[in-house]
Amino acid sequence: MSGRTTTSHNPDPEAIAPGNPVEDLAEGTAQVLAKPRMRGWIHFYAAWLAIVCGATLVSVSWPVASTRAGLTTFAYALSTVAMFAVSATYHRVNWKSARSRNLMKRLDHSMIFVFIAGSYTPFAMLAMPPADGRLVLWIVWGGALAGIALKVCWPTAPRWVGVPLYLLLGWVAVWYAPTIIHVAGVAAMVLLAVGGAFYSIGGLLYGLRWPDPWPTTFGYHEFFHALTAIAAILHYIAMWLAVFYVGHPA
């Protein structure tokens, strides 16, 4: 493709915004400024793991639990694979074209909102009373669409605008903790809470750009990606409990 090259040298893509007057200068120094060698690899492997784990969850949920369980876990699995795959593609490829890079940046940030909403879908449909579940779906998917619109229409928005929105959507489950505990069990709620804490800590590290102990190998962004991968594993386990826990509402 004419818009990309396979070299691994590039300034931090997050620091370059469309229309920034220093973008041309940044492009000129792209060959001498190295991004961490691990940039994107964590989510690359996470994407493949998500394919295997997601396929397993859906293939078991559909025939054993219910069609609704199969459909909702499919939405969850698809959003998880898409988020990790887009992130890996964006961060591994050195986008030689500014237009291609900025397009992928918007898509990468937008997929986080899709992932959050997709992760809520099985819990809303399987581990909550119908009225509460529908309300949660409206909140998280409406918030996701608003977040995507923000990233598309205001791609240069500062981090303090986007990160809090991720966190607010991610912690909607707190308001329904008693219901989730009653329907899906204490273990599921604990996994959701701990996973949410990992996501939140990762988001804060991303916003602060800290810590950055090994800038050429494993920087602050890699800490963020590592924490999101760990959180995704915890939430994946919680999905099994949401599907098969005996306390499901009729």
> Is the distance from CB of 79 to CB of 117 less than 8 angstroms?
yes
Joined tokens for residue 218:
């494993």
Calpha distance 50→125 (Å, rounded): 21
Kindly state the greatest CA–CA separation across the chain: 62
R_g of the chain, CA atoms, integer Å? 19
> Is the distance from CB of 228 to CB of 40 less than 8 angstroms?
no
Length reported for the chain: 250
Amino acid at 35: K
According to the annotation, is 221 in a ligand binding site? yes
Amino acid at 74: F
Say whether the peptide bond before residue 211 is cis (omega within 30 degrees of 0).
yes
> Is the distance from CB of 120 to CB of 237 less than 8 angstroms?
no
Calpha distance 92→202 (Å, rounded): 19
Closest alpha carbon to 240 in 3, 60, 99, 1: 60
According to the annotation, is 225 in a ligand binding site? yes
Pick out the residues of the known binding site.
91, 221, 225
Pick out the residues of the known binding site for Zn(2+).
91, 221, 225
